[in-house]
A and B are shown apart, each in its own frame.
Chain A
Amino acid sequence: MLTEALARLGRSGIGAIAGLGRASLLLVAMLGGLRELAPRPRLLLAQVYNIGVLSVLIIAVSGLFVGMVLSLQGYYVLAQFGASESLGIMVAASLVRELGPVVAALLVAGRAGSALTAEIGLMKATEQLSALEMMAVDPVRRILTPRFFGGFLAMPLLAAMFSALGVLGGWFVGVGLLGVDDGAFWSQMQAKLDFREDVVNGVIKSLVFGVVVTWIALFQGYDATPTSAGVSRATTRSVVHAALAVLGLDFILTALMFGG
């Protein structure tokens, strides 16, 4: 009984490590395709479109609302201390440092990551990847590499849009509806937020998340069991793993960036 439980634990551990190994090999293979991607910018363009442009709407709407809610909630807390002028700092700092990169990454994992997994999984199930290989075209370099770099490029831009629209939403609620002073809102924000410390670190975070989310999505699709059930399981796993990885990495990155 106990040995069986131990054996099961061991099996799942070995399975996880083997999966990590396969994922790492895939990452190396995808990076290897960068040289072949350079003369074909159109492939990259199509993926920036798929991952970036098609995610703009959900990112913009979410960013706006998150900023508005932050402003509304923050105002009542800050007003108790007579510090409602600090609303700008609170909204902007939480968006630029945390919510922008993290929520944008979660939204992209749900919207674009799941689509990537399903697409690659189905291409595998319908033997399209095999067919490419038989036509002497490396499917990793041709299909996966552009998607990987598309996600890598699109993510920081999406996160920046999320944060910027969030700040505007917060400004609209704080200054427009709740009557916080316009000048205080912006000047306090500018005085407290540092370009390198806050904006650049936020961009670094979203770059890391972009890599992780697209990497997980592509790996899950590429590693999926080539059946309809396998692809659907892989799609679920892609979103769950990506979300967990983003939140876990966010903690580590925050500790490294703002902890020291």
Chain B
Amino acid sequence: MGKGLPGVAAVTEHTAPPPIGINANAGECKGGAMSPTMPLVRIRGLRFARGDKVIFDGVDIDICRGAVTAIMGPSGTGKTTLLKLISGQLRPQAGTVEVDGADVHRLSRRDLYALRTRMGMLFQSGALLGDLSVFDNVAFPLREHARLPKSLLRRLVLLKLEAVGLRGAAALMPSQLSGGMARRVALARAVALDPMMVMYDEPFTGQDPISMGVLVSLVRHLNDAGGSSSIIVSHDVPETLSIADYVYVIAGGRVICQGTPTEVTADGSPRARQFLDGQPDGPVHFHHPAAPLADELLATGDKRPC
């Protein structure tokens, strides 16, 4: 893998890639506010509803520094919404989100924007700017927030592209990229400013096995090489468990289980088991709530003139 990622290797020659899996950091951080190292993101009593639909109902989450934290759950549990709440794009009805000690929803607009320059986010669709080339997309945050000489900017962008293996695609337009390539470019853009924290929104969804493997190792490497922290929101169980240091499983607006991947896989609660093992029926029913089938079929039958 080191051979495949020369850009990263160049930056981090001194640190050998840590073993994929459990990181000591996670256990240290589990103590929350009591521990000497404050968590990077601290979510307390988060409540968020869209109209009548309650999406989060009292969620507490700690994201540790330097770790890869996964937030998992079935589709529609508001995982993307959680990332938008952390980055201050959405406002919760109750509860607090603290990032690096600052309450995101109490920051002034200027401070929030300053905070966001230290966050990177990988969108599910890549969200590359359609009218800019790959190079300009990756250069965009640098041009916005760092006054760099042209030659340095060029070198930085090429290094970031090299790290995701797409230096050769610098001149292409986003419309010419495959889905996996677009996501890698977006990844290069997300880490362009060397953020303290990168948020990944479903990074593995809809990828073929090769790009999936590439992305999995990229996420891990970028986290450890840059010394940043990562939040992965995903429902791809095996891939996510393989790189996460700490896992939260969310369902029905609450955290239903948390722990290291080994702890979570050992968890006995039926809801967690159903999600992790992919059982079609369980606490979460296969059927959308409905009246009994026989009643409904007979009811329509009544209306027929016979």
Contact = CB atoms under 8 A, between A and B. Distances in A.
A and B touching (Cβ–Cβ under 8 A): yes
Interface of A: 122-123, 126-128, 130-138
B116 interface: yes
A29 B124 CA distance: 28
14 contacts: A127-B125, A128-B127, A128-B128, A128-B130, A131-B121, A131-B123, A131-B129, A134-B87, A134-B121, A135-B140, A135-B141, A136-B114, A136-B145, A137-B140
Contacts of A131: 121, 123, 127-129, 186
B37 interface: no
A127 B127 contact: yes
Nearest to A46: B131
Contacts of A127: 123-125, 127
Contacts of B127: 126-128, 130-131
Interface string B111-127: 00110110111011101
B144 interface: yes
B262 interface: no
B89 interface: yes
A130 B129 CA distance: 11
A126 B145 contact: no
Interchain residue pairs A-B with the least CB separation, the first 9: A131-B127, A127-B127, A136-B116, A136-B113, A134-B121, A127-B123, A136-B117, A135-B141, A128-B127
Interface of B: 84, 87, 89, 113-114, 116-117, 119-121, 123-125, 127-130, 140-141, 144-145, 186, 189
Contacts of A122: 130
A145 to B, nearest CB: 15
B109 to A, nearest CB: 9
A134 B144 CA distance: 12
A192 B84 CA distance: 62
Nearest to A122: B130
Nearest to A137: B144
B167 to A, nearest CB: 21
Nearest to A127: B127
Contact of B123 (A123, A130, A136, A138): A130
Given A126-B130, A128-B130, A133 B123 contact: no
Given A126-B130, A127-B125, A135-B117, 20 more contacts: A122-B130, A127-B123, A127-B124, A127-B127, A130-B89, A130-B127, A131-B121, A131-B127, A131-B186, A133-B87, A133-B89, A134-B116, A134-B121, A135-B116, A135-B141, A135-B145, A135-B189, A136-B117, A136-B141, A136-B144
Nearest to A131: B127
B111 to A, nearest CB: 11
Contacts of A135: 116-117, 140-141, 144-145, 189
